[in-house]
Copies of this chain bind each other. A is one copy, B any other.
Amino acid sequence: MTEFSLFFILDLLGTIAFAISGALSAMNRRLDLFGIFIIAFVTAIGGGTLRDVLIGSTPVTWMENILYIYLIGVVTIFAIIFRSKLNHLKKSLFLFDTIGLGVFTITGVEMGVQNDLNPIISIALGAMTGTFGGVIRDILCNEIPVIFRKEIYATACIIGGLAFVILHQLAVDTDIIYIATSLTVILIRLVVVKYHISLPSFYLSSKT
């Protein structure tokens, strides 16, 4: 695990991005120092942990490599020190959350493909990996989970995952797939939010 494969680098990048988003969320809730660390930690490892547990790859990734915890610690301190520079909170939070979403989704899809799971199942695993950290962060911080705030959060994951399995079946080079599909997820979310695109909802008029 000490060789820096692109997969490993993506996993670290997602960890960094989600740790920052967690720390920002926790500071916004006025949590104390350790509260900030905990939310950063749980947000950063949540998606990967779910992925590993569902696949049965235990002990989970962050337990096998101390780098994850160090990274989360350093990133959190960084987020605390530079909090005034990250002052457009909503924008920063959104950006880091989106990066984490993109790269973690792809690590989940890759894990599914590596384990010879059906492509559609791999995409579902990717979507869960990408979104779970943010969902726990929001539940712990008592926010409505970001996944339901109309921003086509999961749609981006699913399209990116679809691109992954198609490129994989076309035997495109793995590293190119990783980068292209992570960027796909990130770009879709950025575009969707910028232009306020939304999917239809189907309101059920309840007659109780």
Chain A residues close to B by CB (< 8 Å)? 24, 27-38, 41, 49, 53-56, 58-60, 62-63, 66, 69-70, 80, 83, 86-90, 112, 115, 117-118, 120-121, 124-125, 127, 135, 139-140, 142, 144-145, 147-148, 150, 152, 154-155, 158, 198-208
Contacts and interface: CB of A to CB of B under 8 A. Distances in A.
A194 to B, nearest CB: 17
Given A115-B59, A150-B32, A207 B87 contact: yes
Given A28-B204, A152-B32, A55 B66 contact: no
B200 A33 contact: yes
A9 to B, nearest CB: 21
Contacts of A27: 201-204
A124 to B, nearest CB: 6
A59 B147 CA distance: 25
A158 B38 CA distance: 11
B204 A89 contact: yes
Contact of A90 (B62, B121, B208): B208
Contacts of A86: 204
B206 A62 contact: no
A38, A83, A154, A206 interface centre (most CB from chain B within 10 Å): A38
B31 A125 contact: no
A63 B69 contact: no
Given A63-B125, A66-B118, 7 more contacts: A29-B148, A53-B53, A54-B58, A54-B60, A66-B120, A69-B124, A87-B204
Contacts of A204: 24, 27-28, 83, 86-87, 89
Nearest to A154: B34
Contact of A55 (B59, B62, B198): B59
Nearest to A58: B56
B55 A201 contact: no
B30 A69 contact: no
Given A27-B202, A58-B56, A34 B152 contact: yes
A31 B127 CA distance: 17
